[in-house]
Amino acid sequence: MVHEHGKSVTRCELASILRCLAVGLLLSTAVRAQMPANNPPGAKPVTPQAEIRFTPVQIAFSPGLGLMPRAGTVGGLRLSMPWGRCDTLYGLDLGLYNETRHGVNGFELGLVNRMPDLVAPGQEATPEPAPCRWVQAAVLANWNNHVAMSGVQLAGLVNYNPELARCHGLQMALLMNANETDADRNEGASFRGIQIAGLVNRNRLSGASGGLQLAGLGNWNNGGTTFSGVQAAVILGNGGYISGLAQMMKSRDRTLDNVYPASVRGAQISVGAFAAFYVIFPPLFLASAWVIPNNTADNLDGLQASGLGVNDVLNRCDGVQVAGLVNLVRHSGAGLQVGSLNMVGWNDREALDPNAPPPGFFGDFEFAGAQAGIVNLSRGRFAGVQIGIVNVSDRLCGVQIGVVNWIQQGPVRCLPLLNAAF
């Protein structure tokens, strides 16, 4: 028995304490052995004097100043007060500004969580994205460069992932969720999961994306992707780069890239509280339409619904369009249009794509289905039924029911109440 200051510790208790310390040392060594290398691919080997160390606990005040000034991998707990930096983190990360350079596996909670891009000017990019798994929660922002995100991102203001490789999981932010990619660096970058934002969800990715997008202002997907799922917005709508406004910009400057909105397989839904549009018909219903829509898709296979606004499909539409104002299919398709003004074959895309067919009134467009509204207009070949006050068709194979029924190439061009051509 050992006596010290009136307290006693038996030999058995002392042996137990020593065994616990030995087990802890062995576990720490084992965890360190399982950690990936601290240096990014292609980096210069560190010298023994600057060797990056593993630590189960790190308390940092600024980069280079803390409990372990050169901590590379933290496997346990890190406290950043206010600014902590390490290479890789496994475990719990708490602080004001949490910076991790090569990967996070665990739970991060801070004012700002940051994973910077380590590629300096003139250096080659690291081939593999840094992993970011489990949970990132920030009072202000999560900002990650060149990452593969799997899990949950929560931010009081913004979740921003430039040069994203992939993001699979849940993103929630008061203002915006934004994911971008460099196609040369992250070919096939994608988002799959749920995005919820007070204002905007924006994805500019090179691969297919899908899931659920909910936003107060708008959901915008660009970069030649296909979005499979549901987009729902209140004020503006769903599409790409403020939808049709970008089309008008692109028609004036063809050097702009990534203007085309994503193709959509699923549903686009917006209240459409704001929509600006104007349609020009010089002379009678023979001209083009410029629309700044609420819902925009390159190709649509599903549903577009805008309570007070405009739906626009740039290429092919196979599905249903329902709008309080305008439904527009610029090229071809099959389905149903229900709205105040329904238009098929108004193709302005030749201004965007020099290889697109011309938009002439006798263009080679084809649509099969039905239009129901106040005014129904179709260019090219239309097979189906038009029901409205004014129905106008270039080449119709079907029936028109309305006050004024006009078939440009019909047996009788204009008839009241009913007109038909087969």
Model pLDDT for residues 60-99, shown as the tens digit of each residue? 998 888 888 777 889 999 999 999 998 899 999 999 999 9
Identify whether the C-beta of residue 76 lies closer than 8 Å to the C-beta of residue 92.
yes
Q: What is the DSSP letter of 50?
A: G
The Cα 348–Cα 342 span in angstroms is 16
Look at residue 156 and tell me whether its pLDDT is greater than 70.
Answer: yes
Tokens of residue 52, six digits = 């990056």
For 7, 16, 97, 200, the CA distances from 4, given in Å and listed in that order, are 5, 18, 45, 66
Q: Which is higher by pLDDT, 19 or 112? A: 112
| pLDDT over 60 at 27, yes or no | no
Whether the predicted pLDDT of 348 surpasses 60: no
Q: Which residue has the higher pLDDT, 336 or 190?
A: 336
Helix (H) or strand (E) holding 334: strand 332-344
What percent of the chain is predicted at pLDDT more than 70? 68
Contact present, 112 and 97 (Cβ < 8 Å): yes
Burial 168-198 (b: 16+ CB within 10 A, else e): ebbbbbebbbbbbbeeebbeebbbebbbbbe
pLDDT tier, 247 (very low <50, low <70, confident <90, very high otherwise): very low
Instruction: Report the distance separating Cα 229 and Cα 192, nearest Å.
Output: 10
- In 3D space, the residue among 224, 315, 317, 223 whose CA is nearest the CA of residue 268 turns out to be 317
> Mean per-residue pLDDT for 258-265?
66
Instruction: Grade residue 124 by pLDDT with cuts at 50, 70 and 90.
Output: low
Q: Is omega for the bond preceding 82 within 30 degrees of 0, making it cis?
A: yes
Kindly tell me if the per-residue pLDDT of 411 is higher than 70: yes
CA trace torsion 206, 208, 213, 217 (10° rounding) = 30
Least confident window among 6-10, 260-264, 360-364: 360-364
d(CA 178, CA 169): 14
Is the N-terminal amide bond of 282 cis, ω within 30° of 0? no
Q: What is the dihedral of CA 232, 237, 238, 243, to 10 degrees?
A: 180
| pLDDT score recorded for residue 399 | 97
Q: 377 or 208: whose pLDDT is higher?
A: 377
Show the CA angle centred on residue 157, arms to residues 154 and 160, nearest 5°.
70
| 392-413 b/e (C-beta count within 10 Å ≥ 16 → b) | bbbbbebbbbbebbbbbebeee
Task: Check pLDDT > 80 for residue 362.
Answer: no
CA separation for the pair 198, 215 (Å, rounded):
6
pLDDT value at residue 205: 78
Output the pLDDT for position 134. 87
Work out the pLDDT band at 347, boundaries 50, 70, 90: low
Judged by average pLDDT, the poorest of 323-327, 332-336, 340-344, 364-368 is 364-368
CA–CA dist 300, 344 (Å, integer) = 14
The whole-number pLDDT of residue 364 equals 52
β-strand pairing of 263-270 with 289-292:
unpaired
User: Could you report the per-residue pLDDT of 304-317, keeping only the tens digit for each?
Assistant: 998 877 888 888 89
pLDDT band for 213, please (50, 70, 90 cuts).
very high
Q: For residues 18 and 3, what is the distance between their CA atoms, to the nearest angstrom? A: 18
Residue 188 is classified by DSSP as: T
Structure tokens at 118: 């380590």
Rounded to whole angstroms, the Cα distance separating 8 from 200 reads: 66
Q: Of 266, 251, 264, nearest to 316 (Cα)?
A: 264
